Each structure stands twice: as structure tokens, then as C-alpha cells.
Amino acid sequence: MNAPLDRGADVVTTAARHADDVDRNGRFPIEAVRALKDARLLSLLIPVEFGGGGASLFDVAEICTSLGQRCASTAMIFAMHQIKVSSLVAHGRGSAWHEDFMRRLCDEQLLLGSATTEGGIGGNMRNSICAFERDGATFRIAKEGALISYGAYSDAILVTARRAADAPPSDQQMAVLEKSQYRLERTGGWDALGMRGTCSEGFTFSGEAPVEQIFTHDFAEIASESMLATAHLLWSAVWFGVASDALSRAQSFVRKDARRHPNGPAPGALRLAEATAKLQLMRSNIVEGLKRFAKAQQNEDDLNSMSFAVAMNNIKIGSSQLSIEIINHALLIAGIAGYKNDTPFSVGRHMRDALSAQVMISNDRIFTNLSNMLLAQRIDQRLGE
């Protein structure tokens, strides 16, 4: 086991201790996030030269999975933060302000939030209504109806907007604003079915900052070269953690049952066998995706290719669907003991948390985009490279 994963283990213990309370009260997992900061895991992806952990996305995904097994909200907050960090690392290099911000993120373990959605864009984050309004060396921005996960608890927020007031909706840029530079006016709450600790509330976001805080790379590049892959891979890693814990609980149930009834396996044992095949599919899907991303990062054309976009979108579709199927199997195996909320075999929270997978970026929206891309991109019929 390597060092970041060791440090992750302590955070997992803390997250587990408070997971029920976080879920029941729909509150931010303050203890686990503090533990992430204490373990310096918020800067895990940042290169060593800027003071970070210099870890690979594989290590980050592993921690997402470990946390997902105990507190999906903490895991998802960690994943969403790291998605923002990946954009900072991929597109902030060469910009003095962003490089300095990376150093401060490491020193102060700043938690990054994201304001990429907006009221009136119909859920398509590749469109903006609001714009960066430049005035000399500073800019102003006001975004209405943004759903910002843990927005009230973020130390800085990465926000998208049109390049200028006269730019088309798809010509977007992204900027980093620090807590002292923005104001959040809460316009909606977060009393949700699952992922109750992410506190993904609605806000009107407004702020002003020096123009150097706007990334020089277009948001289109940031979205396709870092966000697309890291979001789908890390979210999937979280859901894998949730699903694998549910199945592990179901296995405990089957083993306990088998000890009591030694004359043949309970009917649930078959379901367990079937579900492990699904879990294996889910793992292969994610691991293959992590490798594909690592390879694409060596080649800018590959990273911006349609085949890469199709692959990453399919990973999200696959793992969101499989996680729910696996947890449902766990429920069928454990029966009432799984349905109840207070047994060692409970999978209710797992199911509620995992149901978010198909609506955080709606699978139907992804299918629509994929079906458009498949008018161009050929089906890959090879088994290997």
C-alpha cells in the first residue's frame, strides 16, 4: 500500500463514523472533509513542483472508491474537488496566477467547488448565459440559478461564463474565484433522495476578480481535455465503492445463511454469483477508462477525438447502470434485512446514493450526445489496440 492510500484509510474511518448522521440530516460531512485536509489529500493530484502529492488519477480513484464504501457524499465531494484540481493542473500551468494558486491550494488545502450550471441553459453546461464583463484589469460575473455542490463550504469556486457580453453561448471561458471575491445568495435547498451530504444547493453567484484569474485555454478545451474524463472516471470510482460495499454486505448475509443451513446454498447465493460478474464488468470498465485517459493524455488529438469522448461517456453510462443493478441484487439477496435501515446488511442508503448516478448529467442527455457522435464515429470492432 502506498502513502496516499494509507492516509486515505484514516479519512475513511472518520467518514464512516459520521456517514449516517450526514445522510439523516442532509448535512455537509465537515469531519471527513477536515480529515481530508489534515491528510493533505486535497492536493494529491497537484505536481510535486507546486507542493502537491504528484499522484496519478489511479490513486485518486482508489480513494474515491474507498470513501464510497463508507460515505458516498464524502466520496463525491472528494471526487468533484479533484475534477476541478485536474483542470487546474492541466490548464493552469504557464499562468503565474494559477501556478501560485496551486501552491496555495497545497499550503492551505483549499476545497474547490464548481459553478458550471446555470438557470435557463437546460442543463447543458457547454452553454452559458452569463458573461465575463471585463473592465480594465478586472472582470465581473453574475450567474443565476447555479447548482453548486458544497458551494457554501468551498474555499474557491471555478465558474464558467461566455467570453464576453457579445460572445455566443458556447464560446465559454472558466475562471477561479476565491471565497473573498464572490458572494453566494442561496436560492434553493438540497433535501434530496441520496447524496444528501453534498449540499448541492442553488445559488446566485456574483463576484469580481483580476482578469488573470480567467484560464487562457477555452472552456471547450478544459471540458474535453480534463473535465470529461476525470468526472466520468472519478464519479464511476465512487459508485463502484457504493456498489461493492452493498455486494459485500450481501455476501456476508449469504455466508451467515450458509453456516446456518449447511445442506445446500440459499437461493440468494446464485444472485451473489451473478452480481459479482456485474461488479467485475464495472471494475474493468473503470480501469480500462483510466488507462485510456492516461494514454490519451500523451496525444492532444486523441484527447480531443470523438472516439475518446464516446469512450468516456460510455464509462459513465455503464457504471451508473451497473451500480444500481448490483445494489438491487444485494437487496434481493439480503431481503428484508437489506431493506431495513438498521441491520449490517442494509443497502437502502447505497441505493439512494447510487440513484444519483443516472441523473447527475442525465443519462438521457448523454445518450442524445452519444447518438449524435455515432453519426460520425465508427463502432470500434477491435478487441485490443
Residue 3 CB, shortest distance to another protein, in Å, is 38
Residues comprising the chain, all counted: 385
Q: Between residues 183 and 295, which has the closer beta carbon with respect to another protein? A: 295
Q: Between residues 69 and 313, which has the closer beta carbon with respect to another protein? A: 313
Question: 144: helix, coil or strand?
Answer: strand
Q: Between residues 157 and 175, which has the closer beta carbon with respect to another protein? A: 175
Residue 369 CB, shortest distance to another protein, in Å, is 7
Angle subtended at Cα 231 by Cα 313 and Cα 363, rounded to the nearest 5 degrees: 40
Q: Which three cell numbers stand for residue 74?
A: 464524502
The answer to whether residues 92 and 52 touch, using CB atoms and an 8 Å cutoff, is no
Could you tell me which of 252, 254, 271 has the C-alpha nearest to residue 328? 271
Instruction: Give the residues lining the site for another protein (CB under 8 A).
Output: 126, 163, 167-171, 218, 220, 224, 301-302, 304-307, 309, 369, 372-373, 375-378
Q: Between residues 82 and 172, which has the closer beta carbon with respect to another protein? A: 172
How many whole angstroms separate alpha carbon 185 and alpha carbon 163?
23
Residue 143 CB, shortest distance to another protein, in Å, is 20
Q: Between residues 44 and 310, which has the closer beta carbon with respect to another protein? A: 310
Looking at residue 245, its amino acid is D
Question: Residues 6 or more apart from 104 whose CB is under 8 A from it?
Answer: 110
How many whole angstroms separate alpha carbon 287 and alpha carbon 281?
10
Residue 175 CB, shortest distance to another protein, in Å, is 17
Residue 377 CB, shortest distance to another protein, in Å, is 6
Residue 125 CB, shortest distance to another protein, in Å, is 12
Q: Between residues 3 and 306, which has the closer beta carbon with respect to another protein? A: 306
Beta strands 133-135 and 138-148 are antiparallel
